[in-house]
Chain A
Amino acid sequence: AQKVTQAQTEISVVEKEDVTLDCVYETRDTTYYLFWYKQPPSGELVFLIRRNSFDEQNEISGRYSWNFQKSTSSFNFTITASQVVDSAVYFCALKGGTGRRALTFGSGTRLQVQP
């Protein structure tokens, strides 16, 4: 069975602060894929990043960075210099194996960035 845990239900920061969203996953598959999605108030899930289990390189995209650590089964997401437009619910998701499986989502972390 697969499981994704996002222990932080809600985080509130002031604009320009850095914030890290935690994600811990469980899977028995040796090959798997991890994703982060953003869900703004409009409701549409927006794809942010995909990471393969065999690629542990961290990634940076503008103000966003991701830290994948297989040893601790974590895939954390950091926003540097947060902005009000970053306010949304962020979901971590896992897709296991090479079979045709759907995503297993965490329960999400609501990020509120105050001006």
Chain B
Amino acid sequence: EAGVAQSPRYKIIEKRQSVAFWCNPISGHATLYWYQQILGQGPKLLIQFQNNGVVDDSQLPKDRFSAERLKGVDSTLKIQPAKLEDSAVYLCASSLENSGRPYNEQFFGPGTRLTVL
């Protein structure tokens, strides 16, 4: 079974530029997450999708971050404009989790390491 795919793996941009990340979850996984992991910290949730609907985006800086999940499969996360503090690894995860199975483990992709200069 293929894992969670993410691209690009690395991205270097200057502040105020825009950047987009792509995620393809494990086939059949209804729930998709984007996490931000700053160096030396644990991942922090940015946004959670159930199929193509947003479940939780309370920690997403909506003035600069946006995300979508078209047709309930692939997802893109965009930052516009980027700030220095956005330098981090952006992790995508997916799970079979739904209301009847709230405990399913999340499977993570390799992440995209973003450096903002």
Contact = CB atoms under 8 A, between A and B. Distances in A.
A52 interface: yes
B108 A100 contact: no
Contacts of A42: 110
Given A43-B113, A44-B111, A102-B33, 20 more contacts: A33-B102, A33-B103, A37-B108, A42-B110, A43-B89, A43-B110, A44-B109, A45-B91, A45-B93, A45-B108, A46-B108, A47-B107, A50-B103, A50-B105, A98-B99, A100-B31, A100-B56, A101-B56, A107-B40, A107-B41
B106 interface: yes
Interface residues of B, number: 29
Contacts of B113: 43
15 contacts: A33-B102, A43-B89, A47-B105, A47-B106, A52-B103, A91-B42, A98-B99, A98-B102, A100-B99, A102-B33, A102-B35, A105-B43, A106-B42, A107-B40, A107-B42
Contacts of A115: none
B87 interface: no
A103 interface: yes
Interface string B37-50: 00011111100101
B86 interface: no
Contacts of B108: 37, 44-46
B84 interface: no
**Interface extent on A, as a size class?**
20 to 34
Interface of A: 4, 33, 35, 37, 42-47, 50, 52, 91, 93, 95, 97-103, 105-108
A98 B98 CA distance: 10
Contact of B44 (A98, A99, A101, A105): A105
A100 B50 contact: yes
Closest 7 CB pairs of A and B: A105-B42, A45-B108, A102-B45, A47-B105, A33-B103, A44-B110, A100-B55
B40 to A, nearest CB: 7
A33 B48 CA distance: 18
Contacts of A99: 102
Contacts of A102: 33, 35, 45, 48, 56
